[in-house]
Amino acid sequence: MLGNHSSATEFYLLGFPGSRELHHILFAIFFFFYSVTLMGNMVIIVIVCVDRRLQSPMYFFLGHLSALEILVTTNIVPMMLWGLLLPGMQTISLAACVTQLFLYLSLGTTEFTLLGAMAVDRYMAVCNPLRYDIIMNSRTCIWVVIMSWVFGFLFQIWPVYATFQLTFCKSNVVNNFFCDRGQLLNLSCNNTLFIEFILFLMAVFILFGSLIPTIISYTYIISTIIKIPSVSGRRKAFSTCASHFTYVVIGYGTCLFLYVKPKQTQAAEYNRVASLMVLVVTPFLNPFIFTLRNEKFIEVFRDVMKRCSQLLKG
């Protein structure tokens, strides 16, 4: 669609293949997932903020993780839903494409940094309970969260800048439902081998830089739990980590397949499915993973609901 132009000032998002009927079914499914994601994560944020029983580092980090999930999905999913209702391809300006990609990568980097910090927090709670309150005080938690957000956004400035310094002369049709970096690199007529290698190294640094502390923390956690003599004690200790561990397996597993690969310009169908896992499925599962087996959160949630019902009746 570029004709004789040397680069793109706008892009066309190809979206999902299939008939109009299939698009309407996908719209209903993804709208349901998005709605539950928003409501579930908002409930977590509100309850963590209003109830003093959840004023601890674990729930403080969980509140920020839920905020990140809302932002990650809201950055892309509403546009994806709108594209499913359109009869043709969806148009996105160059500025909107840059913004969308930058927010997507920055929020994702922040999330992985925070997940690493949450693993260290669980290590301190299980392996050093006597020093936990001294080390993981409110000041430490606030600084950890601030540094996670700042690092996430600063780290992705160069990759996004480098991506859009390329000349897009092959086409301006992105074979995905959002401004996917792999597909953008595929549209460039420049030699992208070097930038793909640098982006690969940066993805490795982010994922493994937060995964290694997580693995080390859980190695110590498991060895500590095994040494607990009573079954109830082991179950209680493991229950404080089970939700985070489950989320780590799902989140890291998906992103390792999506980003840690030398070739960024891989098959569009593979990218589309993996992106849906990151943007739709994982944020949807977050409220269930962190709350369904958390007895303390369920107890607080019930109390908050009772108070709300009493206020409405009175």
Confidence at residue 5, expressed as pLDDT on a 0 to 100 scale: 41
**pLDDT tens-digit map of 205-229:** 998 888 899 999 989 988 888 888 8
Phi, psi of 87 (to 5 degrees): -75, -25
**Residue 181: is its pLDDT beyond 60?**
yes
Residues contacting 226, CB < 8 A, separation 6+: 234
Of 281, 290, 272, whose CA–CA distance to 250 is shortest? 281
Write the single-letter amino acid at 247. Y
Sheet with 173-174: list strands edge to edge.
90-93, 10-13, 173-174
Q: Enter the tokens of residue 180.
A: 């996917």
As a whole number, mean pLDDT of residues 256-277 equals 67
- Under the banding of pLDDT at 50, 70 and 90, the label for residue 265 is very low
pTM above 0.85, yes or no: yes
Contacts 24+ apart (CB under 8 A), 211-220: 211/116, 211/252, 213/116, 213/119, 213/120, 214/115, 214/116, 214/119, 214/248, 214/252, 216/123, 217/119, 217/120, 217/122, 217/123, 218/119, 218/122, 218/123, 218/245, 220/123, 220/126, 220/127
d(CA 31, CA 81): 7
